[in-house]
Amino acid sequence: MKKISLYIHVPFCKKKCSYCDFVSYENVEENLIDQYFQALYEEIRAYRTLLNGNYTVETIFIGGGTPNFVAVEYIEKLMQVLFDSFEVEKDAEITMEANPNGHSNKEEMLRYKKAGINRLSLGLQSADDALLKEIGRSHCFQDFQDAFAAARQAGFDNVNIDLIFGFFGQDRKAFEDTVQYVVQTQCEHVSAYSLKLGEETPLYETYMEQGIDVEEEDWEDREMYRYVCRELEENGYEQYELSNFAKKGYLCKHNTNYWDTKEYIGFGVAAHSYKDHARFFNTSDLEQYLEDIKRNASAIEEIEQLNLQKRKEEFIIMGLRKTKGFEVDDYTRRFGSDFFADYEKETAYLIEAKLIETDKKNVWLTEEGKDFANIAMMEFITEINY
Ligand code: SF4
């Protein structure tokens, strides 16, 4: 049987952060949340026939939004529907994203665990209360510490902490203190993302009004990136992807499956799927999603069949995100051709520019290449296809 990953999107938050361009809604009525979950259960059940007998579920990721913003009952029921609908592997990695402003006391954490969730991804972002306030997070550092302690007390032994950096004028010392705090928690995994500000976010507008050029190369951001990489590495975390670090044995399997371009199904508004070399996109409109599911139990708005060229490009781009890069033999196995023959010119140029390296078995980004990852990746994209 083949293996597959599942992603479930919970698009609700207590309050919208000023830098956020995820599909998430603040201040929604309980009634709408209830309608959404009923639709979600229906969408999941509709996949039973397609997956059962052919696939076992290797990983599940409940993301958002803020999945622990909704009543715990919804998540318990969601897990039940997933277990009833699919063949979930006994040792499946089941992650839920959670924010300290949601349901996160010890009793609630115990309920998540009992429901089958075995990995938590907690959003700290920063331990600096002034920055948290400035970027519109609706929790403070103490809230995070309470949530983290509750997770540990409930027995969660696989916890990721999310960080974000690169805000204009961000206090460097406060950022370093945040990293030191994270190390001291001894969490198993850290995701540290450099801010990529979408044009439609309130913070982008604020920066524009203040005359801040968000497109300009930000060396402060790169300095912070190097700091977090160095500190985590020195404290026993292996950097295995551009923004992800893990203690031995705690790599996130779900995200690794994305970077390995493996198959996954996404449920919920704005969720994406990848199966049989095709990408499926659910509608990003909440009302439309509810209507579509009611009408035909599916909210797929667009299907994009990837041709051989696009599949090669995705494999390379996603593969280069990983510290070890991608395996050249894997490329040959999947596409029936030799990577170095297919990309002779691009490879020579990027090696010369010191952005990638190879030992002929793998191809990966150099340290400098990590700073210019997008430029290096763009080399492999043909204009004809994009
Ligand atoms: S908590 Fe996360 S998903 Fe929700 S608004 Fe903030 S950044 Fe966006």
Coil, strand or helix at 34: helix
CATH assignment, 310-378: 1.10.10.920
State ipTM.
0.99
Atom of ligand 1 nearest to the CA of 24: 3
Q: How far is the CA of 71 from the centre of ligand 1 (A)?
A: 17
Average pLDDT, rounded, for the chain: 95
pLDDT digits (tens, 9 = 90+) for 75-91: 999 999 999 999 999 99
Tokens of 5: 């990953």
Residues of each domain in the chain carrying CATH 3.20.20.70: 2-259
CATH topology of domain 2-259: TIM Barrel (3.20.20)
Q: How far is the CA of 9 from the centre of ligand 1 (A)?
A: 12
Counting ligand 1 atoms within 8 A of each CB, the residue from 18, 21, 24, 139 with the most, and so the one to mutate, is 24
Residue 386 has pLDDT above 80, yes or no: no
Residue 190 has pLDDT above 60, yes or no: yes
What would the mean pLDDT of 147-154 be, rounded to a whole number? 98
DSSP symbol at 130: H
Helix (H) or strand (E) holding 56: strand 55-64
* Residue 383: predicted pLDDT: 60
pLDDT digits (tens, 9 = 90+) for 224-243: 999 999 999 999 999 999 99
Counting ligand 1 atoms within 8 A of each CB, the residue from 9, 10, 20 with the most, and so the one to mutate, is 20
* pLDDT band of 217, cuts 50, 70, 90: low
DSSP string, 161-203: EEEEE--TT--HHHHHHHHHHHHHHT-SEEEEEEP---TTSHH
* Residue 326: predicted pLDDT: 98
pLDDT digits (tens, 9 = 90+) for 260-306: 999 999 999 999 999 999 999 999 999 999 999 999 999 999 999 99
Largest Cα separation within the chain, whole Å, is 59
* Ligand 1 pocket residue status of 99, Cβ below 6 Å: yes
Q: How far is the CA of 374 from the centre of ligand 1 (A)?
A: 24
CA dihedral (378, 197, 193, 301) positive or negative: negative
Residue 384 has pLDDT above 50, yes or no: no
Number of residues that this document lists for the chain = 386
What would the mean pLDDT of 246-256 be, rounded to a whole number? 98
* pLDDT band of 164, cuts 50, 70, 90: very high
